[in-house]
A and B are shown apart, each in its own frame.
Chain A
């Protein structure tokens, strides 16, 4: 791997560390029913099939972390065809966080765009 792509990869990873929480919260905020990890991963894949921004497997620890912070809650339900599934749903604090974080994101995006354009 070239040095540039390694840097790019690191940059992408650092960006993902913050944005993945916002993305997951907003997906669950839009959903009317609790969702399990694989469903969320599929929705994200469909929303940007050609943008390989984050590995699906890295979403799960973020979901757990959001639950620890009280922004999500989860229940485990057995499945007839496979292993038990962990269903996540957003909490009131989580919904409030989506609003606040979206605002922060919009400001950041605007600021970055302005500087990129020069």
Chain B
């Protein structure tokens, strides 16, 4: 019925059409791993067996694409450990206040601070790698170096995906991309360079630096301002002059905590929203 593993994978992909992209990739990766190993073993036992005969015997035990697709569809929608048992808020106010206890918010906040560091590292890595690879391309060492650099970018993209899944709760692929073994350096390089996702990964990594700086600055400014406003009346108690606004009536100092609480609530909601948007954006760029 199937002549190659690729044909089987194509059919499986069709059966999974409309499912979560990451789930499709998990299913294809698991299937590819199993069928490749099984084929290897069948060929060891019977070297003269035909491709389709070998596959037929393997698939009879592994299952048809429709059976496998149904098995994956049956898995409950995967959520990060952080995201389980979160009660859905019902009205606007509950929804706004829920940002304080919603693990999405805290996951997103941690992710944004981490992005400040990873953004700089990714940016430096991509710039240095791209420059070195292009300059050394004229000598023979350039080809393996470029392959190494592109593979490292894919591994970093995989790492970023894991980070996003754990902290932002967005499903991402669970294994690095794979290139058939036994190919020559030139052929490997061609596959990697002509793969549009290689370029998507690099653009994503370059953009992480400005985004990381933006997230970091925004969070620090908004959180510090909010907390300062909330505790403003204490400055009177302890005679601290750190909030001294000339011409501000004394009683207004006691209104600042309300402004601070509103600001903090808006900030927490903003953090949650940015985390959600970043998760969707990353999935679009990092998942095949």
- List residues of A whose CB falls within 8 A of some B CB: 17, 36-38, 41, 45, 52, 55-58, 60-62, 64-65, 68, 70, 76, 80-86
Contact = CB atoms under 8 A, between A and B. Distances in A.
B34 A37 contact: yes
A84 B63 contact: no
A38 B27 CA distance: 14
Contacts of B30: 37, 57, 60-61, 64, 86
Contacts, number: 82
B38 A38 contact: yes
B138 to A, nearest CB: 30
A85 B40 CA distance: 14
B94 interface: no
A80 B37 contact: no
B31 interface: yes
A66 to B, nearest CB: 11
24 contacts: A38-B33, A45-B61, A55-B61, A55-B68, A57-B63, A57-B71, A58-B63, A58-B68, A60-B30, A60-B31, A61-B30, A61-B71, A64-B75, A64-B78, A76-B174, A76-B175, A81-B40, A82-B40, A82-B181, A83-B29, A84-B33, A84-B175, A85-B33, A86-B30
Interface string B49-83: 00000000000011100011001101110100100
Contacts of B81: 70
Contacts of A60: 27, 30-31, 34, 71
A52 B71 CA distance: 16
A41 B63 CA distance: 12
A61 B74 contact: yes
Nearest to A70: B81
Given A56-B34, A64-B75, 17 more contacts: A17-B74, A36-B33, A38-B33, A41-B34, A56-B63, A57-B30, A57-B62, A57-B67, A58-B71, A60-B27, A61-B72, A61-B74, A64-B26, A65-B75, A68-B78, A76-B175, A82-B40
Nearest to B176: A84
B34 A82 contact: no
B68 A86 contact: no
Interface string B212-224: 0000000000000
A39 to B, nearest CB: 9
Contacts of A80: 181
Contacts of B178: 83-84
A64 B71 CA distance: 11
Given A55-B62, A55-B63, A57-B62, A82 B68 contact: no
B197 to A, nearest CB: 17
